[in-house]
């Protein structure tokens, strides 16, 4: 195992118990075969089985109302907060409020046939890449817009892309970096206390082919903590 190159280390861990809702920042988290424990456990799902998201596809239905809500794990149960109150997942009142807000009958369901994750189990972005976005694109460079699981301290923009095809040891977990992440309109919209900022997607399209950050798959479960070094393995 090589030493952590140039001091690469985890600066933030973020988990999203309900897909597309704002998430929570954690000091440490267990990583299992599916990804961060508790990440995207649930999703707001309509009668067609499509998941509420900021984009539309075969799996997802665009429902921007979902971004007014946040979710966290409290006593091993998921708690959702929004403009009209706070509820536990499973509370009929939560689904009634969401259905009214979205103009359709929706439920908050655990993952079953349709995966809640987009294209990878764990997402990661480097701090130097975010700083580059601030300087080059004139945007806020706030990691929350990207919905990453791991923010890693880096000194070179986009160095994390060089990790694709390699294994990463973080804490006592091991990941396989698999691909760059192509971003969508979600980086521009108002979310998690952030105002709308349309320059993000346009700038990434112009300068980066829309890509920022990487996806990884779990190859060895374990525990990851803030400040853990990121070791790039052969």
| 144 and 72 co-located in one domain | no
pLDDT at 122: 98
Structural domains counted in the chain: 2
> How crowded is residue 53: how many other Cβ atoms within 10 Å of its Cβ?
23
Mean pLDDT across 179-190: 95
Q: What is the pLDDT of residues 76-131, one digit of tens each?
A: 999 999 999 999 999 999 999 999 999 999 999 999 877 898 889 999 999 999 99
| 124 and 221 co-located in one domain | yes
| 93 and 128 co-located in one domain | no
Q: H helices of the chain, where?
A: 92-102, 127-132, 199-208
Q: Where residue 186 sits, what CATH number does that domain have?
A: 2.40.33.20
The terminus-to-terminus CA distance of the chain in angstroms comes to 8
Alpha-carbon gap, residue 176 to 105, rounded angstroms: 38
| 122 and 209 co-located in one domain | yes
| 149 and 208 co-located in one domain | yes
| 126 and 95 co-located in one domain | no
| 62 and 169 co-located in one domain | no
| 99 and 141 co-located in one domain | no
Could you tell me the pLDDT band of residue 6, with boundaries at 50, 70 and 90?
Answer: low
Boundaries of domain holding 128: 5-16+31-35+118-233
| 11 and 55 co-located in one domain | no
| 93 and 172 co-located in one domain | no
Choosing from 110, 136, 170, the residue where a domain stops is 110
């Amino acid at each position: 195992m090589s030493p952590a190159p140039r001091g690469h280390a985890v600066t933030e861990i973020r988990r999203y118990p309900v897909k597309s809702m704002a998430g929570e920042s954690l000091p440490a988290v267990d990583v299992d075969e599916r990804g961060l424990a508790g990440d995207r456990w649930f999703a707001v799902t309509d009668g067609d089985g499509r998941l509420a998201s900021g984009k539309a596809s075969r799996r997802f239905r665009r429902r921007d109302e979902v971004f007014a809500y946040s979710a966290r794990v409290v006593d091993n149960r998921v708690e959702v907060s929004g403009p009209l109150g706070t509820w536990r997942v499973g509370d009929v009142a939560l689904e009634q409020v969401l259905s009214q807000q979205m103009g359709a009958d929706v439920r908050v369901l655990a993952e079953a046939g349709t995966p809640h994750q987009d294209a990878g189990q764990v997402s990661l972005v480097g701090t130097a890449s975010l700083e580059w976005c601030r300087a080059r694109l004139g945007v806020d460079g706030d990691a929350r817009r990207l919905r990453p699981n791991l923010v890693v301290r880096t000194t070179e923009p986009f160095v994390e892309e060089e990790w694709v095809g390699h294994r990463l040891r973080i804490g006592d977990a091991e990941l396989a970096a698999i691909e760059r992440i192509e971003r969508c309109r979600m980086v521009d919209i108002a979310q998690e206390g952030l105002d709308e900022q349309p320059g993000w997607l346009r700038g990434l399209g112009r300068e980066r082919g829309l890509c920022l950050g990487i996806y990884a798959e779990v190859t060895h479960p374990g525990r990851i903590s803030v400040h853990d070094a990121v070791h790039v393995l052969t």
